[in-house]
């Protein structure tokens, strides 16, 4: 893939399925992004931000240890855009998070890149 849609973007992936996370990493890096973290658990946001700015986060709603809504709210409070990539229906999203990017699994590469580019680009 030679598309550099996400060139220069620093992206975090929150996904508890190893293969899904690695597929997303490969896709995003092929699109020019720098994946700065992959985590199956809710990471410490201040620690991530110490390493530099975050342009966007790709978030699975259910990380096995619980839901990621509070982390999404922390991102929102910091002005960091995110896109949910989940098997859950959009109706599950709380009202305060419903307006953010949302993709259902399985999502093809073009949809993932477009959603992240849109979210990150809108924040720049």
When pLDDT is cut at 50, 70 and 90, the band that residue 90 belongs to is confident
Task: Provide the total of helices (H) and of strands (E) in the chain, helices listed first.
Answer: 4, 5
As for how many domains the chain has, the answer is: 1
With respect to residue 1, please indicate whether it lies within any of the assigned structural domains.
no
Which pTM was predicted?
0.91
- CATH number for the domain spanning 94: value is 3.40.50.2300
Q: What is the pLDDT of residue 30?
A: 92
pLDDT attached to residue 58: 97
- Is residue 3 in a domain? no
Q: Which domain holds residue 118?
A: 10-123
pLDDT mean across residues, the chain: 90
Confidence of residue 28 (pLDDT cuts 50, 70, 90): very high
Greater confidence (123 vs 91) lies with 91
- Report the chain's C-alpha Rg in angstroms: 13
Contacts of 34 (CB under 8 A, 6+ apart): 8, 9, 10, 11
Asked if residue 33 belongs to a domain, the reply is yes
């Amino acid at each position: 893939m030679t598309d550099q849609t996400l060139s220069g973007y620093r992206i975090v992936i929150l996904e508890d399925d190893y293969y899904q996370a690695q597929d997303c990493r490969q896709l995003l890096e092929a699109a020019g992004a720098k994946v700065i973290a992959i985590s199956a658990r809710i990471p410490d946001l201040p620690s991530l931000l110490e390493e530099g700015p975050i342009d966007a986060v790709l978030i699975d709603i259910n990380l096995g240890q619980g839901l990621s809504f509070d982390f999404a709210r922390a991102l929102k409070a910091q002005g960091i855009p995110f896109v949910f990539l989940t098997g859950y229906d959009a109706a599950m999203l709380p009202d305060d998070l419903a307006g953010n990017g949302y993709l259902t699994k399985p999502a093809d590469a073009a949809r993932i890149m477009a959603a992240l580019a849109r979210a990150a680009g809108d924040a720049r």
